[in-house]
Amino acid sequence: MVSVREPAERGAAAPDAWLLDASQLKQGVRALELVPADASAQFAGRMRVEASDDLEHWRLLTGNAPLLVAHAGEQSLARLRIEWPATEAKYWRLSWADGTAHAVSFGSARFEPAQVTREPARVWERIEPLRVNAGDGEYIYALPPGAPVDRLRIHLPHDNTVVPVTLLTRAGSERDWRNIGSHVAYRLVKSDSEFENPDLPVHGSQQLMVRFDTRGGGLGSGAPMLEIGWVPHTLVFAARGSGPFALAYGNAQAGAAAYPIASLVPGYSEGNSEATRELIGNATLGMPARAGGEARLRPQADLKRWILWSVLGIAVVLLGAMAYRLWRQMDGNASGGTPPR
């Protein structure tokens, strides 16, 4: 954490730039979180971040990072985190991207070391609702089968909209909905800058319901636009023989056959140097061709499991019959026995 010092004179104008001395840090930094000096302050703007080792030569890391703090009653919206590619520097300069000072003071800044795990790159796809109940603010979507969806982006139809949202999922049309989280979706515009809520975490399932709180106007007219994201798998294989090679996928009966990547390429990791990664070439995908049809995508009946459950059921019935017969015999002996002398 770095302390941010500002002019102490009363009536001094709000600063439009800050200089942070991080010379004691001996590692790279990939993110910064600002802490307002006044917890009740409200502002919206975009920040420019530069780095230097000598206070003379500066390199730009990000020039348009959105910052936002808004309060309404007991509810608050805050976006004070700025990210950039991992960088090691002694000094950091922060300034408003539009060059205009905002009425806010920062008490401290928290640097995030570069070795902290970074969010992986995701593939994003727009989805359309299966069913809409606009009166209750409910939108139901079908998720792509097999896609490991873990993020959701909500784009609201109108500017300056703030609405609570609840996410629910279920494994099929006959299953009950399960609540996976409540959030606040927003789309705010100030001085030609637009601010939207961060991506929301979700869990992959067959169906997703997004329920917007209709109190206070809800979404108004129009419908939201949703995007789902997931981390694509990286396939590394040893090429044996000459190409082209065929990659078959989608068989519901196929079992896992992957080996740890370190056993195939010792020392391999996503963060390896280019020299190490040059050992691995890039494969280019051709046009896909249907092989087994839709039937291969559906799980087939597991005969071994059915036989096992059948044998278990028969055994339970036999035990029940034996217990009933034994109970009848004991009851007959008790009712027809010789009375005591």
Q: Can you give the residue ranges of every domain in the chain? A: 2-113, 123-230
The structure tokens listed for 294 are 């839709």
As a whole number, mean pLDDT of residues 180-192 equals: 86
2-113, CATH topology level: Jelly Rolls (2.60.120)
Contact between 33 and 110 under an 8 Å Cβ cutoff? The reply is yes
Give the residue, 192 or 149, on which the prediction is more confident.
Answer: 149
Summarize the confidence of residues 315-324 as an average pLDDT: 91
**Band (273; pLDDT cuts 50, 70, 90):** very low
Tokens of 190: 């100030």
Q: Identify the pLDDT of residue 296.
A: 65
Q: What is the pLDDT of residue 219?
A: 83
Confidence (pLDDT) at 223: 87
First to last CA, the chain: 96
**pLDDT, greater one: 120 or 70:** 70
Q: Which is higher by pLDDT, 266 or 41?
A: 41
Q: C-alpha distances in angstroms, 162 versus 73, 132, 185, 186, 218?
A: 13, 20, 6, 4, 8
Q: What is the pLDDT of residue 268?
A: 65
pLDDT for the residue numbered 257: 75
| Topology match between the domains 2-113 and 123-230 | yes
Per the model's pLDDT, the better-predicted residue between 149 and 265 turns out to be 149
Q: Is the domain defined by 123-230 classed in CATH 2.60.40?
A: no
Q: What is the pLDDT of residues 30-72, one digit of tens each?
A: 888 988 888 888 888 888 999 999 888 888 888 888 888 888 7
- The answer to whether the beta carbons of residues 69 and 78 sit under 8 Å apart is yes
- The sign of the CA dihedral 309, 314, 315, 319 is positive
Between CA 159 and CA 78 the distance in angstroms is 17
Q: Which residues contact 134 (CB under 8 A, 6 or more apart)?
A: 223
Annotate the chain with three-state secondary structure: CEECCCCCCCCCCCCCEEEEECCCCCCCEEEEEEEECCCCCCEEEEEEEEEECCCCCCEEEEEEEEEEEEEECCEEEEECEEEEEEECCCEEEEEECCCCCCCCCEEEEEEEECCCCCCCCCEEEEECEEEEEHHHCEEEEECCCCCCEEEEEEECCCCCEEEEEEEEEECCCCCCCEEEEEEEEEEEEECCEEEECCCEECCCCCEEEEEECCHHHCCCCCCCEEEEEECCCCCCCCCCCCCCCCCCCCCCCCCCCCCCHHHHCCCCCCCCCHHHHCCCCCCCCCCCCCCCCHHHHCCCCCHHHHHHHHHHHHHHHHHHHHHHHHHHHHHHHHHHCCCCC
How far apart CA 131 and CA 223 sit, in angstroms, is 12
d(CA 192, CA 194): 7
Percent of the chain with pLDDT over 90: 21
Q: What confidence category does residue 278 fall into, taking pLDDT thresholds of 50, 70 and 90?
A: low
What does the pLDDT average to over 2-14?
54
pLDDT for the residue numbered 299: 63
Question: Is pLDDT at 286 greater than 60 in this prediction?
Answer: yes
Give the type of residue at 234: T
Q: Determine the average pLDDT of the residues in 104-130.
A: 82
- How are beta strands 17-21 and 106-113 bridged, if at all? unpaired
The mean per-residue pLDDT over the stretch 175-191 comes to 88
pLDDT over 70 percentage in the chain: 84
Nearest residue to 296 via CA among 249, 236, 233? 249
Sheet holding 29-36, edge to edge: 2-3, 106-113, 29-36, 81-87
Mean pLDDT over the full length of the chain? 81
C-alpha dist (Å) from residue 180 to 29, 78, 137, 141, 150: 33, 22, 17, 15, 12
- Look at residue 340 and tell me whether its pLDDT is greater than 70: no
CA–CA separation, 291 and 267 (whole Å):
36
